[in-house]
């Protein structure tokens, strides 16, 4: 027995000795190298699609990219005029105590065939309300974004493909192509857009920058510019013409242009299938309601994976990434989802180093809301979302219209 113990002691000593001789000293982790952003206040114009953009528009482009590296701005469509209940302040302000950081508007009524420019005309009155709201938002340092629910070119009654005949669906978008039967009609609509944007001025007579996202959600088929009604090249051609006409022909230089499909794309290559090119896009956007439509954690993760490739693509291309529309519509028959804002949406927008400049909620109306009012059951959830480290409302939005030194 003693011999066995002695043997074990010797073996153990040898093993310990060998272990010490073969100890591997841990290699220190290499220092994290932060690659400096190639876009600087001095060279930022070279990364924009309009080299003649106004100084405030250049600053907005630069500051949105900068903001997205650590935070995102929160906004709502028609925030000052689409209220769930009594009118007054924006519903975001009613619920949080602060205005949204960006305001969404629409050219729909402005370019309507019935807008005759007379003071007693309802459509012209809406134009004045919209443009006044843009000016108010800018005076508060907010960001202005325009979409365009353009009525179809035949009867100009609707923007929904479901309201059109099969023949109209198949010809409407193609008719506004250069050389098409409705191309001059489309140019007249762009003339109106150009006139309005060129007259958006602050109290110092300086032009107000806007983000414009024409023909959004084009990968679906609910609008007459949807994927079933034009080829990828036809879509690109109209998008390119729109930018060139406003920028070069009409000399409008206070626009950032946004590419804003819906959420059907699951890969970078698919997302770019109708992309008009880096020379025509400042903002890479995505509208996404579906993945947040009561899909829980799985939907949030799916949205996050899409926003991740969107974010990475914007970083690669030196563009701005954004969740250009989203929301969950709460109505009398559709109750709020617990933690929809503070968990599902916030996680989708921030996990995996996703960098987004802003999120836009759709408007509230008498039939339901996307942003809760103070008495709504999910008001505390929205307040929690708006108080998160990366969330920005108007009160914490940096000056977006001056370049840093």
Calculate mean pLDDT across residues 169-190.
Answer: 98
Write down the pLDDT at residue 16.
44
- As a whole-number percent, the residues of the chain with pLDDT over 90 amount to 88
Q: Is 77 exposed, middle or buried (0-12, 13-18, 19+ CB in 10 A)?
A: buried
Q: pLDDT digits over 122-154, tens only?
A: 999 999 999 999 999 999 999 999 999 999 999
Q: pLDDT digits over 391-404, tens only?
A: 999 999 999 999 99
**Contact by Cβ (8 Å): 225, 215:** yes
CA atoms within 13 A on the CB side of 367: 3
Calculate mean pLDDT across residues 61-71.
Answer: 98
Write down the pLDDT at residue 29.
57
């Amino acid at each position: 027995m003693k011999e066995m113990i002695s043997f074990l002691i010797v073996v153990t000593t040898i093993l310990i000795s060998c272990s010490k001789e073969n100890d591997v000293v841990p290699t220190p982790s290499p220092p994290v190298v932060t690659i400096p952003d190639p876009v600087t206040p001095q060279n930022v114009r070279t990364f924009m699609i309009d080299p003649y953009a106004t100084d405030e528009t250049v600053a907005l482009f630069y500051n949105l990219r900068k903001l997205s590296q650590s935070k995102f701005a929160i906004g709502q469509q028609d925030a000052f005029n689409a209220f769930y209940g009594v009118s007054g302040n924006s519903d975001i302000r009613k619920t949080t105590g602060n205005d949204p950081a960006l305001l969404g508007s629409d050219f729909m009524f402005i370019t309507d065939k019935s807008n005759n420019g007379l003071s007693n005309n309802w459509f012209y009155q809406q134009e004045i309300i919209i443009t006044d709201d843009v000016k108010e938002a800018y005076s508060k340092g907010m960001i202005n974004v325009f979409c365009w629910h353009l009525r179809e070119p035949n009867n100009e009654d609707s923007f929904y493909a479901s309201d059109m005949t099969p023949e109209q669906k198949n010809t409407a978008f193609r008719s506004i192509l250069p050389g098409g039967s409705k191309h001059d009609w489309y140019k007249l609509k762009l003339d109106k857009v150009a006139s309005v944007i060129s007259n958006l001025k602050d109290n110092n007579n300086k032009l107000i920058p806007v983000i414009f996202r024409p023909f959004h959600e084009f990968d679906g088929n609910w609008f007459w510019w949807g994927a079933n009604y034009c080829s990828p090249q036809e879509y690109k051609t109209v998008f390119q013409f729109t930018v060139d006409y406003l920028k070069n022909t009409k000399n409008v230089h206070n626009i950032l242009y946004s590419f804003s499909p819906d959420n059907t794309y699951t890969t970078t290559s698919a997302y770019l299938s109708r992309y008009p090119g880096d020379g025509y896009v400042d903002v890479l956007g995505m509208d996404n309601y579906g993945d947040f439509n009561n899909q829980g954690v799985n939907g949030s993760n799916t949205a996050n994976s899409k926003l991740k490739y969107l974010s990475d693509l914007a970083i690669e291309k030196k563009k701005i990434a954004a969740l250009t529309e989203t929301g969950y519509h709460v109505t009398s028959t559709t109750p709020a989802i617990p933690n929809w804002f503070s968990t599902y949406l916030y996680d989708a927008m921030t996990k995996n180093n996703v960098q987004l400049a802003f999120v836009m909620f759709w408007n509230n109306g008498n039939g339901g809301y996307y942003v809760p009012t103070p008495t709504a059951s999910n008001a505390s959830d929205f307040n929690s979302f708006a108080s998160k480290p990366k969330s920005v409302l108007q009160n914490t939005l940096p000056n977006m219209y001056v370049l840093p030194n």
